Structure 1
């Protein structure tokens, strides 16, 4: 196991996995920012800055900008967690460093493009294509893991 942790593939994976995990965590901060700037909260206790009960009720609204960021964050959760889990298994199969770097970089780049396209409302197919690139990278790693383990 020590040779895997010291391998260049594992170190590269650790770097790229950390980048996308931090990016995913940042989406929580971005959601909070949008909630505060749009005065759109989900819980009554979050409206404490309002002076009257009526103002508090007005802040309990669904805001399209907040929901857009939340959907982007949800998409991160649906894609980054599988990348991290499959990527970890992938590193255990001793893949070629060049192939691993390509897949890691494609995934990370695709998630940043996806977030920019989602939050800034860029026209399709920008968001869809970036999602496909990230999904394809994860599927390639998954196929490599299965073909190595099952000797396909």
Structure 2
């Protein structure tokens, strides 16, 4: 890794926390597949054929509450982690205060992990809603700080 990047505490923290949330998001794909297979609830006819033949396979073309809950968790990750990665990258390039940046990254990561737990368990509301709002607020805070920095608009 280039020395410039290695010596940038904020950028290295961003890489670390981004890797954590991206890995968590990737695990949701595996969890979706696991629930589809164990619950025998497939979205595509060719997948259902692995559990039955002909007319018997059609009964496996169905939705399942657990599969859908995992899918919605994954979709929510896509809707929130992708903007965090883009905005966090730009934010880390604005020479932010390392302590403030680290708290942004930590809070976002914790909120996404807690959001997934609260969605999958499921925990009663407002657990999931608050964890989403906190993560979203962190991303908005970074966006505000980028726009407030020495950019030429």
What is the TM-score with the length of structure 2 in the denominator? Answer: 0.93
Q: Which residue of 2 aligns with 1:148?
A: 149
Unaligned runs of 5+ in 2: none
- How many Å apart are 1:47 and its aligned residue? 1.9
| CA RMSD, Structure 1 to Structure 2 (Å) | 1.7
Structure 2 equivalent of residue 52 of structure 1: 53
Residues 24 and 73, structure 1, Cα contact 8 Å, conserved in 2: yes
1:34 to 1:51, Cα distance in 2 relative to 1, 3 A: closer
Q: Assess if the C-alpha contact under 8 Å between 1:40 and 1:61 holds in 2.
A: yes
In the alignment, the residues of structure 2 paired with residue 62 and residue 146 of structure 1 have an alpha-carbon distance, to the nearest angstrom, of: 43
Q: What CA distance in whole angstroms lies between the structure 2 residues aligned with 1:82 and 1:51?
A: 41
1:40 maps onto 2:41 in alignment: yes
Q: What are the Cα deviations for residues 90-113 of structure 1, in whole angstroms up to 9, with x where unaligned?
A: 000011111011010000000000
Change (3 A) 1:47 1:97: same
On the 8 A contact 2:31/2:70 being kept in 1, the answer is yes
> Is the Cα contact below 8 Å between 1:24 and 1:76 reproduced in 2?
yes
Counterpart contact for 2:13–2:102, Cα < 8 Å: yes
**Aligned residue for 2:95?**
94
In the TM superposition, residue 62 of structure 1 has moved relative to its aligned partner by 1.0
Q: Which residue of 2 aligns with 1:8?
A: 9
Contact 1:87 1:141 in 2 (8 A): yes
Structure 1 stretches (4+) deviating beyond 6 angstroms? Answer: none
- Contact map agreement 2:5 2:12 (CA 8 A) in 1: no
